[in-house]
């Protein structure tokens, strides 16, 4: 089953539901029905999956890192994208990201063993998304 479109593909105006159907008893109801608008309707399916995982992990980034196998900066960036999609501006009162001692140690070990470049390590330590460099 397809997701219900919310806007007209021709003019972009909101669509109105005029027909409802029950597949169990084969009943059809016609009229003009208002849909309940959710702020989460603006999110992509991937963003909704992230929100569900975030709630399931009780907002704990350490658990979210384990579940989604993503770094803290990546998770933070995805959350900021969702916050913007919901119409808010993230980080107005946010303190700058500082990696924990354990995260810092892991980043430096990855640098030392050659798993990541100097630029990647610097970005991770600053809380930025690392830009993968071509090593070949």
pLDDT digits (tens, 9 = 90+) for 39-84: 887 788 899 999 999 999 999 999 999 999 999 999 999 999 999 8
Per-residue confidence band for 132, with pLDDT thresholds at 50, 70 and 90: low
Query: Residue 123: helix, strand or coil by DSSP?
Result: helix
Per-residue confidence band for 134, with pLDDT thresholds at 50, 70 and 90: low
Per-residue confidence band for 133, with pLDDT thresholds at 50, 70 and 90: low
Please compute Rg for the chain using Cα positions.
22
Rounded Cα distance, 87 and 42, in Å:
9
Output the pLDDT for position 121. Answer: 86
In the chain, pLDDT over 90 holds for what percent of residues? 41
Contact 110, 116 (CB under 8 A): yes
Domain assignments of the chain as residue spans, ordered by start: 40-126
Q: What is the mean pLDDT of the chain?
A: 85
Residue 16: pLDDT over 80: yes
- pTM for the whole structure: 0.49
Residue 68 neighbours by CB under 8 Å, 6+ apart: 50, 53, 75
């Amino acid at each position: 089953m397809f997701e219900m479109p919310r806007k007209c593909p021709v003019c972009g105006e909101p669509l109105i539901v005029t027909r409802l159907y029950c597949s169990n008893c084969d009943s059809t109801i016609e009229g003009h029905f208002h849909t309940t608008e959710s702020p989460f309707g603006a999110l992509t399916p991937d963003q909704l999956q992230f929100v569900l995982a975030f709630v399931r992990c009780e907002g704990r980034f350490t658990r979210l890192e384990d579940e989604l196998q993503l770094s803290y900066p990546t998770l933070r960036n995805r959350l900021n994208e969702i916050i913007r999609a919901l119409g808010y501006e993230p980080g107005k009162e946010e303190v700058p990201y500082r990696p924990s001692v354990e995260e810092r140690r892991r980043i430096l070990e990855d640098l030392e063993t050659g798993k990541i470049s100097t630029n990647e390590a610097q970005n991770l330590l600053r809380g930025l998304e690392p830009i993968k460099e071509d090593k070949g």
